[in-house]
Amino acid sequence: MKEATDSISHTSLSSSSPYAITYTPYTSSGTCKTASQVATDVTTIARKGFTAIQLYATDCNALPHVSAAARKHTLRLILGIYVDASGTHSGIVQEQLRTITSWAASSPSHWETVDLIIAGNEALFNDFVSPSDLATFINHVRNTLHRAGYEGPVTTAEPVNVLRQHAAALCDALDVLAPNLHPFFHNDVAAQDAGSFALEQMALVKGLCGGGKEVLALEVGWPSRGARNGVAVPGVVEQKTAVRGMVSAIGARASFVSFEDDGWRDPGDFGVEQAWGCVELF
């Protein structure tokens, strides 16, 4: 694999600027938002000072709707290809790749708006794939999209402990290191310490793969409600404190989760999975 030299556009931002925010084009009940609703959301994201929007997948016409709205505000895109329990060879995965390449082919300038492609989100953490299969998939995505004209970086998103455990298998396939950082899920990290913790985790990841790859923190945030996890307490005040600390510490290198609460998700561990909406804090 070639050594990636592509630089993500956020490198010129100040240390306190928020780079990106995650976005899913669903209503609270799980139905797809209309193009008009998406455009309104994207306008809000732009007004809040973000540089980019992160998508997890291409369903709900997310790519054409979000990209059209983002272009009006000169917002960048981080595109995701979601991998579920059916694995990397599933029809769902291949359809996402086709959607992205078709979208790019529809306008020669589309690739110019894309900062990063994320091939799989916590696929290893969820035991959906093996490390070798994921590395092969990342390379497949890169080769497919390079043939379609994309020249930017490709990576995958995993928690820090997973990246550290499987660095030997993944490093050669990754152009950028992209850990999902969730201080809340560490029971010894309080909201006021979220920023310093995130910075320490970034430093740990930076040391992987020889220390020469860029690090972009994904899924950085704090829940506004749910059950406590040791000294990690969810809440409106705590979320504001934690997010402020993380913006100050790593804001220019982070994608904050999420635009709004995702009522369609399962509540999950500690009942917090629906409660990460944070755009109003910016």
Residues with catalytic roles: 122, 219
What does the alpha-carbon distance between residue 42 and residue 36 come to, in Å, rounded to a whole number?
10
The torsion angles phi and psi of 120, rounded to 5 degrees, stand at: 95, 135
Side-chain half-sphere of 39: how many Cα atoms within 13 Å?
A: 8
Q: Are 99 and 63 in contact (CB under 8 A)?
A: yes
Alpha helices in 78-182 (DSSP H): 91-105, 131-147, 160-165, 167-170
Structural tokens at position 200: 């320490």
Q: In this structure, which amino acid lies at residue 264?
A: W
Alpha helices in the chain (DSSP H): 35-47, 62-72, 91-105, 131-147, 160-165, 167-170, 194-206, 236-250
Q: How many residues does the chain have?
A: 282
Q: 178 Cβ partners below 8 Å, 6+ apart?
A: 116, 118, 155, 156, 157, 158, 215, 216, 217, 218
For residue 144, list its beta bridge partners. Answer: none
In the block, tokens 């998406």 appear at 38
The total of other beta-carbon atoms located within 10 Å of residue 270's CB is 17
What does the alpha-carbon distance between residue 51 and residue 73 come to, in Å, rounded to a whole number?
9
